[in-house]
């Protein structure tokens, strides 16, 4: 699930500390790394990755970010819950036997979690899979069929999204397996955590997927900020 990388339209909660152009470039790095991790997952599980994007008409924004021939599926629906549900319905209509809806805000989710989700959903017996985020949302929800109830009566963009989703699953009698909890990068605090995961060797934070595009971009930002600081001191 991805927004087209357009300055001023993506990662707005990261401006500041980033500029709109920097936030857009970081968003593109997140997408590159998520796709790379998913590609590794498809080598270990019978799966394919597809980009479900919004807004329609901005396919060109993905040029140079995704490899040629990448599958792009426009999102439809008014609210976030509808877009998730309709994306799942569209993918099932394409012939997939199971669907995982994955955010593009968590570039260091361990690839193993994607593999675990795919393998679990392809086993016999009805189930769903949830990858909870530490902010109360989720970075992945996996389904064997469209289940509208999982996307209804959810207070989106709050700390109770995962809890409410589990409640909806219980109400319809759907077993829900949990993956390892991880974190989204959508504000200054979570960006600082990502920075520590990459660059602080003394941090006790868990290390996930190495996300090389994101790491390279943040390294360049560090060097640029340091250079600006030196130039300012010199001019003074």
Residue 124 has pLDDT above 50, yes or no: yes
pLDDT value at residue 230: 33
Residue 138 has pLDDT above 60, yes or no: yes
Domain boundaries, the chain: 2-235
Q: What's the alpha-carbon Rg for the chain, to the nearest Å?
A: 19
Residue 226 has pLDDT above 60, yes or no: no
The fold of 2-235 is Spore Coat Polysaccharide Biosynthesis Protein SpsA; Chain A (3.90.550)
What is the rounded average pLDDT of the residues 22-48?
97
- Expressed in percent and rounded to 5, the helix, strand and coil fractions of the chain are 45, 15, 40
pLDDT value at residue 227: 38
pLDDT value at residue 214: 97
Q: What confidence tier does 50 reach under pLDDT thresholds 50, 70, 90?
A: very high
CA distance 127 to 44: 21
Residue 236 has pLDDT above 80, yes or no: no
Look up tokens 């109830």; give the residue.
Answer: 149
pLDDT value at residue 225: 63
CA distance 84 to 137: 14
Q: Which residues pair with 140 in a beta bridge?
A: 102, 131
CA distance 130 to 172: 16
Exposed/middle/buried for residue 125 (C-beta within 10 Å: 0-12, 13-18, 19+): exposed
């Amino acid at each position: 699930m991805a927004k087209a990388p357009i300055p001023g339209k993506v990662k707005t909660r990261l401006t500041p500390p980033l500029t709109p152009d920097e936030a857009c470039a970081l968003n593109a790095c997140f997408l590159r790394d998520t796709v790379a991790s998913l590609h590794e997952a498809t080598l270990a599980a019978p799966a394919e990755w597809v980009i479900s994007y919004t807004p329609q008409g901005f396919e060109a924004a993905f040029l140079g970010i995704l490899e040629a021939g990448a599958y792009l599926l426009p999102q439809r629906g008014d609210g976030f819950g509808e877009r998730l549900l309709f994306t799942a319905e569209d993918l099932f209509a394409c012939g997939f036997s199971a669907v995982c809806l994955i955010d593009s805000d968590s570039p260091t989710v361990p690839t193993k979690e994607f593999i675990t989700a795919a393998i679990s959903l392809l086993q016999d017996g009805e189930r769903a899979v949830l990858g909870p985020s530490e902010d109360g949302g989720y970075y992945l929800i996996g389904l064997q069929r469209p289940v509208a109830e999982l996307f209804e009566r959810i207070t989106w963009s709050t700390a109770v999204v995962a809890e409410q989703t589990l409640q909806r699953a219980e109400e319809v009698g759907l077993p829900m397996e949990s993956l390892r909890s991880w974190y989204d990068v959508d504000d200054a605090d979570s960006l600082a955590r990502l920075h520590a995961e990459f660059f602080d060797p003394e941090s006790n934070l868990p290390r996930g997927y190495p996300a090389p595009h994101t790491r390279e971009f943040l390294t360049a930002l560090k060097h640029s900020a340091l250079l600006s600081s030196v130039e300012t001191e010199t001019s003074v």
